[in-house]
Amino acid sequence: MQYDVIIVGASFAGLALAHHLPRSLRVLILDRKRALDAAVESTGLITIATKKLFAEFTDVEKFIPNDITTIGVVSPDYEKYFFSHTEQPWIHSTDTPKLLEHIAKTLPENVELKLSALVQGYSIDETAEFSVSLRYKFSGEEQIASGKFLVGADGSHSIVAKESLELSKNKHFLGAMEKVFFGDITFGPAPQNSVYHFWFGEFSLGYGGWLSPTVIDGKNAFRLGLAKLQKDISSLRRLDDFIRILQEKKIIQMAPDAQSLVTFGSLIPIGGALKKVFTNYSLLIGDAAGLCGAFAADGIKGALVSAKVAASLIPRHLKGERNVLRKFYPTIERDYGKLMTYYHKQLLYRFVWDRMKSDRSFMAMYDLIARSQDEFLAQFCDSKEKGKGLLRVVLKMKNIPLLCKYAWYLWCDLFKRSSRER
């Protein structure tokens, strides 16, 4: 079969792109998943701006069980914590599998979706009208799809990137694991409207733990997870320790059966936006392009923004504007609140975070952030589009003593051996 655009990946980036592309184009989406709602590797948190992006092509309101107005931050010893609030929701929890399934089921008629399709590779023939020849296995048979243009929306380990000598590849990752349970969060002033971030220090170098409420089949549930640097990924088994501690501290209360409804692991790219994300015949979007904001719940936003921008450029490229793909990153930067600048800024956050290798360093950072807790949400999500950020929150005269203490612990950590499980 012949297509104008072949998309590898049927998660948010790939499906959003298919919704936004002109109906005059013949589009094929391939994904190795067996079911639309299977193994959704996302915490399902979306920002206000991301919700608006969804609303442009789907009825996202049906899939939002919790409006989040509060973030709770817990220190490494669990003894200290603070809550930062906003009057209006600043983020939303979604029924992610059902939302993804709905987006796929409402694809326009010009789009063909094939699940259980394992992409094996592709080749480019610049002399042919349909230059892309993509090989995949479907229903036990080897098949070939021909296309004019190929899009890699297939996540952090994109085969579209892997098979190309020209495209950049993600190289640095966090390993993450999440479980979902029926039950209630019983910590804080508004647990059904709060998300929680746990700073573990040596327990989870690289990121930390999280907890958020949701509703599944009309019942209260919660999602909790743990992320660590890729080199420490084997110790993600400590997620069960995290769950046990939260139960002992009476932060969560599980339903009687205490069986996880969903368990999934994933690799989150943390190396920043990739340098080379397009050729004359291909483009990477979403996580495949490194557009992931692990520090501020921005993974889905990067997927939707890059999909929408790609959908505006690909038709022009197919009509002969051979330099139009150069506008991919500049358009994201210009039209979406300097989002590319923010992705670059996160590399600075990552550099600092990775220097911390002891509980005392994380406690010093906690004390610093807690002192500015009323402004803490300014660094998150859509607030960055207003020119705010973490550095502006903490770099103040009143914080100089705490900044000096924190800097001293960072210096000491330079001489500490890399992460060591206790």
pLDDT tier at 324, thresholds 50, 70, 90: very high
Q: CB of 168 within 8 A of CB of 271? A: no
Query: Where is average pLDDT lowest: 277-291, 298-312, 355-369?
Result: 355-369
Tokens (6 digits) for 153: 């929306």
| pLDDT at residue 372 in the model | 77
| pLDDT at residue 140 in the model | 87
Q: Read off the pLDDT of each residue in 223-229 and give the average, rounded to a whole number.
A: 87
Q: Read off the pLDDT of each residue in 237-260 and give the average, rounded to a whole number.
A: 89
Listed by start position, the domains of the chain span 2-41+99-171+270-341, 69-94+182-269, 355-413
Q: Read off the pLDDT of each residue in 299-315 and give the average, rounded to a whole number.
A: 95
Name residue, tokens 């002992």.
248
Rounded to 5°, angle at Cα 41 from 135 and 19: 60
Please state whether 410 falls in left (phi above 0), alpha (psi between -120 and 50) or beta. alpha
Pairing of strands 173-185, 252-254: antiparallel
What's the pLDDT tens digit per position in 182-206?
999 999 999 999 999 887 655 455 5
Query: Where is average pLDDT lowest: 43-52, 313-322, 344-353?
Result: 344-353
Rounded-to-integer distance, Cα 264 and Cα 262, Å: 7
Tokens (6 digits) for 280: 């004359």
**Is the per-residue pLDDT at 417 higher than 80?**
no
Which of 360 and 149 is assigned the larger pLDDT? Answer: 149
Which of 145 and 232 is assigned the larger pLDDT? Answer: 145
Average pLDDT value over all residues in the chain: 88
**Is the per-residue pLDDT at 42 higher than 80?**
no
Which of 378 and 75 is assigned the larger pLDDT? Answer: 75
Pairing of strands 194-198, 45-47: unpaired
Rounded-to-integer distance, Cα 75 and Cα 201, Å: 9
Which of 329 and 348 is assigned the larger pLDDT? Answer: 329
| pLDDT at residue 25 in the model | 98
| pLDDT at residue 380 in the model | 59
Rounded-to-integer distance, Cα 46 and Cα 29, Å: 24
What's the pLDDT tens digit per position in 99-140?
999 999 999 999 999 999 999 999 999 999 999 999 999 988
Q: Read off the pLDDT of each residue in 17-29 and give the average, rounded to a whole number.
A: 98
Q: Which of 143, 138, 135 is nearest to 117 (CA)?
A: 138
**Is the per-residue pLDDT at 295 higher than 80?**
no
| pLDDT at residue 393 in the model | 65
**Is the per-residue pLDDT at 377 higher than 80?**
no
Query: CA-CA distances (angstroms) from residue 129 to 281, 313, 324?
Result: 11, 19, 19
When computed from its CA atoms, the radius of gyration of the chain, rounded to whole angstroms, is 22
Buried b (16+ CB within 10 A) or exposed e, 231-249: ebbebbebbeebbebbeee
What's the pLDDT tens digit per position in 157-183?
999 999 999 999 999 998 888 999 999
2-41+99-171+270-341 folds as FAD/NAD(P)-binding domain (3.50.50)
**Is the per-residue pLDDT at 387 higher than 60?**
no
What's the pLDDT tens digit per position in 278-291?
999 999 999 999 99
| pLDDT at residue 422 in the model | 40
Q: Read off the pLDDT of each residue in 41-46 and give the average, rounded to a whole number.
A: 78
Residues in the chain: 422
Q: Read off the pLDDT of each residue in 58-66 and give the average, rounded to a whole number.
A: 94
Q: CB of 147 within 8 A of CB of 132? A: yes
